[in-house]
Amino acid sequence: MVRDLVTGNPVTDGYWSDIGTISADVIDPETGSTVMRTFAGASGLISISDIPMVSNLTVQTITVTLAQAADRINDLMRGYDCKQGKVQVFRGLFDASTRAMVAPAFPRFAGTIDEAPISTPREGEDGNVVLTCTGNTQELTRSNPDTRSDASQKLRLSTDDFYLHTATVSEWQQYWGKSAGRLGVTGGGFDIIGAARAAGFFR
The pLDDT tens digits of the residues spanning 7-45 come to 889 989 898 888 888 899 999 999 999 999 999 886 788
pLDDT score at 199: 41
Q: What is the band of 138 on the pLDDT scale with cuts at 50, 70, 90? A: confident
CA dihedral 12, 13, 17, 21 (to 10 degrees): 120
Lowest mean pLDDT among 26-30, 47-51, 114-118, 144-148: 144-148
Phi, psi (5° rounding) for residue 87? -130, 130
Mapped onto helix, strand or coil, the DSSP state of residue 64 is: strand
* Cα–Cα distance for residue pair 71/152, rounded to 1 Å: 49
Burial class (CB in 10 A: 0-12, 13-18, 19+), 41: middle
Evaluate whether 45 touches 129 at the Cβ level (below 8 Å). no
Evaluate whether 119 touches 127 at the Cβ level (below 8 Å). yes
Q: What is the band of 203 on the pLDDT scale with cuts at 50, 70, 90? A: very low
Average pLDDT estimate for 119-139: 84
pTM beyond 0.75: the answer is no
**Is 50 exceeded by the pLDDT of residue 190?**
no
Mean pLDDT across the chain, nearest whole number?
Answer: 82
Percent of the chain at pLDDT > 90 equals 26
pLDDT score at 181: 64
pLDDT score at 189: 47
pLDDT score at 183: 56
DSSP type of residue 47? E
| More confident: 126 or 178 | 126
**Is 60 exceeded by the pLDDT of residue 161?**
yes
For 55-113, the pLDDT digits (tens) are: 888 888 999 998 887 888 888 888 899 888 999 999 999 898 988 889 999 999 999 99
Q: What is the band of 184 on the pLDDT scale with cuts at 50, 70, 90? A: low
Average pLDDT estimate for 113-136: 84
Sign of CA dihedral 135, 89, 79, 24: negative
Percent of the chain at pLDDT > 70 equals 85
CB half-sphere exposure, 109, CA atoms < 13 A: 24
Sign of CA dihedral 70, 76, 79, 85: negative
- Helix residue ranges per DSSP H, the chain: 71-79, 150-156, 192-198
